[in-house]
Structure formats: structure tokens, C-alpha cells
Amino acid sequence: MILTVIGARPQFVKAAVVSRALKDFNIEEIIIHTGQHYDKEMSDIFWEELDLPKPQKNLMVGSGLHGAQTAQIITKLEKEMLDIRPQALLVYGDTNSTLAGAIVASKLNIKVIHVEAGLRSFNRTMPEEINRIITDCVSEILFCSSEEGVKQLEREGIVTNVFNVGDVMYDALNAYGPIAKNKIKLEEVLPFEYEPYILATIHRPSNTDSSFNLEGIISAFRELPYKIVWPLHPRNRESITRFNIPENVFIILPASYLEMQVLLQSCTKVCTDSGGLQKEAYWSKKPCITLRDDTEWVETLSGNWNMLTGPNRTKIVNAVRTKVELNTWKELYGDGKASVRIASILKNLI
């Protein structure tokens, strides 16, 4: 039996497709939700839309400082793991829930399975980078999204039970994209009558907790000849009140996964500091401007499909103006069958 620990909305999406594959391969799974993303806009609606199996428990840790939040998850999760005694623990990505789960399982001599292993931005000031490195170090089964992840783990001396399976987010995009198109009309989520627009998401503390950085991004938006649709992360509602929002920027409530798919498929370009949206933009053939100085998804930088600008006003404006040639696009991160490969490998290994 596998225990899956998730706590943030990108992990809900990944788990939706992997859990379905585990079920198809008759692998028993129990899910625990840490409550890292805890309100309806960031959590509940994802479970409803994606038809995720109900979690056995919600640890309800909520938000907080990184150390305190991680410690809470470790403390609460250890008790659950001692009761459940799974054969293995499955974690996704690079959140505090991922790190906490990996630490608890490794202390209890329970195998750790890491999906999205081997990713590196090489920026250790990002908490996510530390979470990735430590989780990979204690994992016994590592599933990479690309060959670059496999090579990075090899450089770090991790070579056993490392598999390039592709990216489960691609599975989700293929599975839920058509559902989104049939279920949700663009006019239901777009706050104006259609015209070319940019989809923006900004949630990294390095941007949202810095008035200087956020001002640089908003100033760039003011100069762009596009309307900007910005689904606002709940934790940023207060900080955004300090700024004069340009008339071409439309702030909306957090979008559900299906709503985001509809907005993504109809937009002209994407401006984001998210990791997952960089990939989704690439798969959807939407040029992406990443409001960071680095990315863990280095393959997307080819052909200017993804451009790194940081929060620099001039760089953002120039990147949006840069033309991207469609013939430079190529398949990245597998063929949309990563979850099936993961389940098949786990069936043989566990």
C-alpha cells in the first residue's frame, strides 16, 4: 500500500492522474492532505473538479513560516504514518509538504517515491530548491520529467531506481483540457469582452513580499499593449492594495484548474513566476515570460518560448515584444503517459 502526501494545488492536479493510474494497476493508495493550501479557492474546488479520491485525513496545518509549517506537518504526519505503516510514501514536487513527508518516511525506514525528481534551478535562496535536493537525497524511487533530471541526479551520485517517465502535468493537461473546454465558457471567467490578453500569475514571496519587485512587474504591465488577466493568490490580497493598478490589469479571484485551462488556451502570452504554468504554457504553445531569474524547466528556454526576466520592467516589456517562431516548438517532457509508466514501475518494485 502507498501513502500519498499532498498539500498544494499543483500536487492535487498531479495526484488526480497518478491516483487513477494506481487504481488501474490495482495498487492500494491512501491520501493525506496536509492542508498547506487550505481554503476553498485554493483546495476544495480542485478536489471537486478533478474527482480526486477523498483524503483519509486533512492535517489542516494552514499557512505560516517555512520552518514552523514544515515542523507542524512532520509532527502530525509521523503519527499518521505510524498508524498506517505504508510500504512506501509518494510525494510530488518541491513544497514543504513534500519535504516533511520525505523526512518522516526516511526516519521510519519507509521507502520514499519522488515524482518530479532531479529538477534544479541552482538558486538555493528559493525554499523549493532546498526541498527538492533533500527529498531526492532520501528517496529510493525517483521519477524524472526529462532526461535532464536523470543526468542531474547522476551528477549528484543518485543512479539507482531513477526513471525518466515524462511529466504527469502533461497527462493532466491532456485529460482535463477537453473537459475544461466543454464545461466552462471563456466569457464566464474573462472579465471583459474578448480581445488579445496576457494571463499573469504572481505568487513567489521573492516578488510579492518585495515592494520594489512588485512595482517593477506592475510598471511593466502598465506599458504593455495588452489587457492582463491576473488571478490573485489569497495571500497577496493585502499587499496588492499598496499599488496603483493600471487600467489594463484585471484582477480576478483565484481560478480553479479548469478555469485556468480555459484562460490559458485563449490567451496570447503568459507572465508568471510559477513553475507549473511555465510547462503548461509551453505545451499549449503560448510564449511564457517568467518573472524570475532562473527556472527549473530549462528545456523550455529554447526558441524564446520561455524568457527569464526577473521583476525587471524593461526586460519584461522587451520579452513580451519578442516574436516566437512556431516552427521552433518541439515535444518536451514525454508523451502524456507518465502516470501509466509510474504505476507500472511501482507495480513491479513494490
- pLDDT tens, position by position, for the chain (350 residues)? 999 999 988 899 999 999 999 999 999 999 999 987 665 555 567 777 888 888 889 998 877 788 889 999 999 999 999 999 999 999 999 999 999 999 999 999 999 999 999 999 999 988 999 999 999 999 999 999 999 999 999 999 999 999 999 999 999 999 999 999 999 999 999 999 999 999 999 988 899 889 999 999 999 999 999 999 999 977 777 778 888 999 999 999 999 999 999 999 999 999 999 999 999 999 999 999 999 999 999 999 999 999 999 999 999 999 999 999 999 999 999 999 999 999 999 999 98
| Distance, CA of 32 to CA of 36 (rounded, Å) | 11
Pinpoint the alpha helices (H) of 203-331: 205-208, 211-223, 257-266, 276-283, 313-321
Bridging pattern class, strands 162-164 and 141-144: parallel
At 59, give phi and psi (nearest 5°): -75, -15
Distances, alpha carbon 182 to alpha carbons 179, 257, 314, in Å: 5, 14, 39
| Distance, CA of 45 to CA of 162 (rounded, Å) | 34
Active site residues: 203
Which CATH fold topology does 2-167+334-349 show? Rossmann fold (3.40.50)
| Distance, CA of 303 to CA of 285 (rounded, Å) | 12
| Distance, CA of 229 to CA of 208 (rounded, Å) | 17
Q: For the whole model, what pTM was predicted?
A: 0.93
Residue with cell 497527462: 171
| Distance, CA of 176 to CA of 181 (rounded, Å) | 9
Cβ atoms within 10 Å of 195's Cβ, excluding its own? 9
The CATH 3.40.50.2000 domain(s) of the chain lie at 2-167+334-349, 176-328
Alpha-carbon dihedral sign for residues 293, 298, 300, 303? positive
Gyration radius from the chain CA atoms: 20
Q: Which CATH superfamily is domain 176-328 in?
A: Glycogen Phosphorylase B; (3.40.50.2000)
